[in-house]
Amino acid sequence: MADWLAAIILGLVEGLTEFIPVSSTGHMLLLGHFLGFESNGKTFEIVIQLGALLAIISVYFKRLWMLATRWPFDPDARRFLIGLLVAFAPAVVIGLLAYDFIKTVLFETPLVICIALIVGGLLLLWLDRMKKVPTFLEADRYPLRVYFLIGLFQCLAMVPGVSRSGATIAGGLLLGTDKRSAAEFSFFLALPTMGSAVAYDLLKSWDRLDFSDTGLIAIGFVTAFLTALAVVRFLLDFVSRHGFAPFAWWRIAVGVAGIVGLALTGGL
């Protein structure tokens, strides 16, 4: 397969999966494995995540600007920012402590990704059918305890295939949030989490980064941005109408297909 076509496909997959609970990392690693595509120093895979992150900033720019400018004198804005930091904190600590193990062991084991996709899909199906009246309906008004516990759930996504958004949404639902606000909070939490993860990846891999394929990186970046933009704009309404079952079944299907593919290619 031509590299430019692989770049488009991977960009589409990154944008489509980054903010829905199906694990963008799991999809990217499995797809890269079967396409035989891997950039030097994983520069391509790291940089195109910024395209998806830019989509969040574009859609929520007005609210982000209000938070940035009003927090010194607006108690509600300040409280939400504190909540985001509280939710983000566990990922900082655990990510720094387990970084090498995650990158060198978990990210290099496709079977782990497939199993995590299937298990996460089954959990999402259970949560989607759970008969529980939500207590918290607005992402910027959760109690600090809920923010912190959602942050702990997010750390589960350090296992590729779990899904960062899936873990935060599942945690929110278990803690009493409704589906729409849980999905929205996962968007906001993506900003510090993904931004710092990408920055740390770039720092740790700086001596191995290769920007010689800037054309391919640009293709993947733009594709990821445009695709993620569409996902972010329509996901909340989709979730409100259909819940998370479609994503759960997709996870299970991809996980099973991945195991079959590994078996057929001798990758088990």
Predicted confidence (pLDDT) per residue in 40-76, tens digit: 556 777 788 888 899 999 999 998 999 889 988 899 9
- Inform me whether the pLDDT recorded for 241 exceeds 70: yes
User: What is the C-alpha to C-alpha distance for residues 144 and 88, in angstroms, rounded to an integer?
Assistant: 12
pLDDT at position 8 is 87
Q: What is the pLDDT of residues 173-201, one digit of tens each?
A: 999 999 899 999 999 999 999 888 888 87
- Inform me whether the pLDDT recorded for 266 exceeds 80: no
Q: Strands of 83-173 (E only): list them.
A: none
pLDDT at position 211 is 65
Q: What is the pLDDT of residues 83-96, one digit of tens each?
A: 999 999 999 999 88
Banded model confidence at residue 151, pLDDT cuts 50, 70, 90: very high
pLDDT at position 40 is 59
Secondary structure class of 217 (helix, strand, coil): helix
Secondary structure class of 177 (helix, strand, coil): strand
User: What is the C-alpha to C-alpha distance for residues 155 and 19, in angstroms, rounded to an integer?
Assistant: 16
pLDDT at position 261 is 87
Cβ atoms 45, 104 nearer than 8 A: no
> 192-220 burial, b for 16+ CB within 10 Å, e for fewer?
bbbbebbeebeeebeeebeeebeebbebb
Averaged pLDDT score across all residues of the chain: 86
177 forms beta bridges with: 136
Instruction: Give which of 179, 252, 19 is closest to 171, Cα–Cα.
Output: 179
Banded model confidence at residue 204, pLDDT cuts 50, 70, 90: confident
Largest CA distance in the chain: 61
